[in-house]
Chain A
Amino acid sequence: MKIGDCVVAWSKDEELRKMGASGGLVTSLLVGALETELVDEVIALRKISEFEGVPIRTSDTDEAIRSAGSLHAAPINLTKFAVRFFEEHPDGAIALPVKPCDCRGIIEQAKRRKIDMDRIYLIGLNCGGTMDPITTMEMLEKMYEMDPKKIVEEEILKGKLIFKTEEEEKAISIDEVEEAGYGRRESCRYCGINIPMMADLACGNWGAGEDETFVEILTEKGLRLMKSAVDHGLIETAPAPEKGIKIREKTNSVMENVAKTWYEKVFVPIEDRSERMKYYMDAMEDCIDCEACKYVCPVCSCDESKCIGFYDPMDSHKISIYHLIRLLHLADSCIGCGQCTDVCPAEIPLTILHKRVADRIQAKYDYIPGIDMKTPPFFEVE
């Protein structure tokens, strides 16, 4: 194996192959990273149900094994958990599975010296999008006529959203469920980064056979992860077949096109300046000052938050200084992950509001946050 190789791989542990998605490779890599002492801890989601995963940080391989399995309806960004690790262990090393938006958040935090990229192993996961758990449960009852409590597995395959119980399996096209207001989170629909090429490994089932994972080895760290798992007898690999490589490319291209269509639908330009201002004021006036959007934001990194520090709740502005500072702060770093919208108690479409500003700035400076270690344009102003 070498950097740039595409392989298919799977866990040698029969139990893990069953528990984990696509042959249990990712869990085996986490276990391997701990057992070979490449890392001190791993971060993963402990599966409670198909709709609930609790983020855990652990050095216990058994606990890492219990986190096996994919969760499309537990949309959590793990960036801040990685930041916490480095706050507590500046010289430590950690590994975690990352969706593209986790990975982008981590890279932006690394630029702001909150994460040491040499000590973090990013096992990238292809991502076609995640779903809100509550609306997904509602969708299951209304569209699939299935009891959410009986779901044992879900999968996104060939444009369809598939749910399985012990007794049955039902599939509906993603277009149909999204037309009905369900399906992927809004930010996932227009996200065009589906294969995490900025991670150390890019893993997924696109182009892979049953019970195996397609892996592209992207960095020296990624190679180290794979080799240590192989040497430790945890995984087996084989060269990725040419057909698999083409399927993966095609799937990615389809997803990119779907994202582009959604982007154009959601981000209809507001050309008139006063209309634009009214749109922002109207949306933000429902804010109840909880500060959850800042707290959850994977790219927010001030030690002393300027958005809070220069904001006085006694001000009577229709857009608070808090939001204005955040709009400015995120202009070159918003990755559009959707976490702020997810947690907003007033249902303010914050991700869209931030992206409307950020996309203009990022386009102007030809800068895409979170895909490489390029210095953000606003940093260069200093």
Chain B
Amino acid sequence: MKKIVCYGCNLGCGLYFGDVPYFRKNSPVNSGKICRFGMKIHRYEKVLPKVDGKNVELDDAIAAAAKKLADVKEMAFVSFGDVTCEEQLAFNKLAEAFESDVHTCIPRFIGANIEKIRQSKEIITFIDPYTSYPLILRHMLHAKKNGAKITSYYWKKLRIADESVILNPAEIDKIKSINFGDSLVITDLNPLNLDFSNEIIKSCNAENIVCLKPFLNSTGASLISDGEKSIYQIFEEIKEKKIKGLYLLESDLGIVPDDTLMAALDELEVLIVQQSMRNALSDRADIVLCGDRKFEGKGTVLNFEGRVLENEGGTEGIKILTDILKSVGEEIDYDKMHAEVLSKLGINEIDEYIVPKYDIKYKQPEAEIKNYEGDAHLVYAYNPFMWNNVIDRDFVEISPSLVESLNLHKDELLKMTSSKGSVAVKYKINNAMPDNIVLSPMKLPISTDIVTPVNFKEP
């Protein structure tokens, strides 16, 4: 069995993997415990190499990618960080060879560590630890057991919170008036909520913020790559023809709530994806390069604390990049990349039980928090399945009062309409939900943003 790190989020949960996951009890982050996603990491269909819709040998796909990279100017390179630091660095080299940067779509930031959560006396959370980052829950429970007061600002009441403040989409900017004091703040930094997280990060002392991120190596990738474009800027520049070709390394732009944005990809001269999972993006791509499965890449991973972790596995992903780089006369290999990664991190060896110190300046993204119009809203409950565009739970959560007011019966579907159209979905009644929110763990076709104004009238 290999020692791997779960790619469900950037918590850095260690586990073993043979042909199925197994519990690695000496992992410093999770003590061998893994969430629902971690238990299922291996269950996905691997994509095959492809050029223009036809299955080809990987070498032919690599040759096609090299040719397109030489031909198409204004290429953009995106990697959210679902790869090791070594692969991210190799991707940087490729982007540099074509005079570009790699965009991670998440700003560089490292805040407080797990130990700080466990020792905290006051915690303010903006995430739902039960679904969004489940392995953070046990550290929060530990703090609570030791007397910590937990206040949540979220879309529903949280069981762990002593005080739950329900966020109202029409007045989200009210978070500006929260007095954080010396509380430890737990929040989430992801490509879709830069305005929200930015507001929190700039209001608190960085040492008091636990900043969770959604991808395996979000933190490591953001330290290695310098690109600063947001996911929405990339779509915008594709529409404006400033970006004519796109190379996505294990990065599914389909995470954007508004799937009409994805139509912009059809305007590209070339869409190259290097990924392991077969999905709508790989079906849409002109060239598909198939690397190691997300949890099988050999190399270094940094979790949200900046803790350096080792992932045992293969180097197929780096080999693809190496082969493409050869076409422009650059020679790299895994060992070179690994040595450079350690040097960049300022360490000589990996020690997962120590969190190195970092001196990182958070660069505020251009994002202003906004309120949402309307009386009722569909809201996304981030979770590892959603970030991987996989449906785990095909139902939304709503309050008993909403069920009553809509006169919904058991087995009936909840009908919602937004500016994009209508949808009917299964629902679960949850006493913790407010009446004006529909919380969804999956993407729905009517969404326009992470918060979408909806009504419940028949279209």
Contacts and interface: CB of A to CB of B under 8 A. Distances in A.
B25 A133 contact: yes
B1 A55 contact: yes
A51 B353 CA distance: 12
A148 B428 CA distance: 47
Contact of A286 (B26, B141, B393, B426): B141
B141 A288 contact: no
A18 B31 CA distance: 30
A378 to B, nearest CB: 27
Interface string B118-143: 00000000000011001101100110
* A148, A292, A295 — most chain B CB neighbours (10 Å): A292
A134 B26 contact: yes
B28 interface: yes
Contacts of A316: 428-431
Interface stretch (B33-41, B49-57, B74-82, B282-290): B33-41
User: Is the contact region of chain B dominated by helix, strand, or loop, or is it mixed?
Assistant: loop
A153 interface: no
Nearest to A285: B159
Interface centre among A134, A316, A344 (most CB of B within 10 A): A134
Nearest to A289: B36
Sort chain A's interface into a size bin: 35 or more
A137 interface: yes
A345 B134 contact: yes
A288 B395 contact: no
B348 to A, nearest CB: 15
A288 B131 contact: yes
Interface string B351-369: 0010000000000000000
A216 interface: no
A342 B27 CA distance: 13
Q: Is the interface of A mostly helix, strand, loop or mixed?
A: loop
A51 B26 contact: yes
Contacts of B134: 288, 290, 345-346
Given A74-B26, A342-B25, A290 B34 contact: yes
Q: Which of A74, A285, A314 has the largest number of chain B CB atoms within 10 A? A: A314
B16 interface: yes
Contact of A292 (B23, B137, B141): B23
A52 interface: yes
What 9 pairs between A and B have smallest CB-CB spacing? A133-B26, A345-B33, A290-B36, A52-B26, A314-B428, A51-B26, A134-B31, A288-B134, A347-B138
21 contacts: A49-B26, A51-B26, A52-B24, A54-B16, A55-B22, A133-B31, A134-B28, A286-B130, A286-B137, A286-B141, A288-B36, A290-B38, A290-B39, A290-B134, A313-B393, A316-B428, A316-B431, A342-B32, A345-B33, A345-B35, A346-B130
Given A55-B1, A134-B28, A313-B393, 19 more contacts: A49-B26, A51-B26, A52-B24, A54-B1, A54-B3, A133-B26, A137-B26, A148-B353, A286-B141, A288-B131, A288-B137, A291-B36, A316-B429, A316-B431, A342-B23, A342-B31, A343-B34, A344-B33, A345-B135
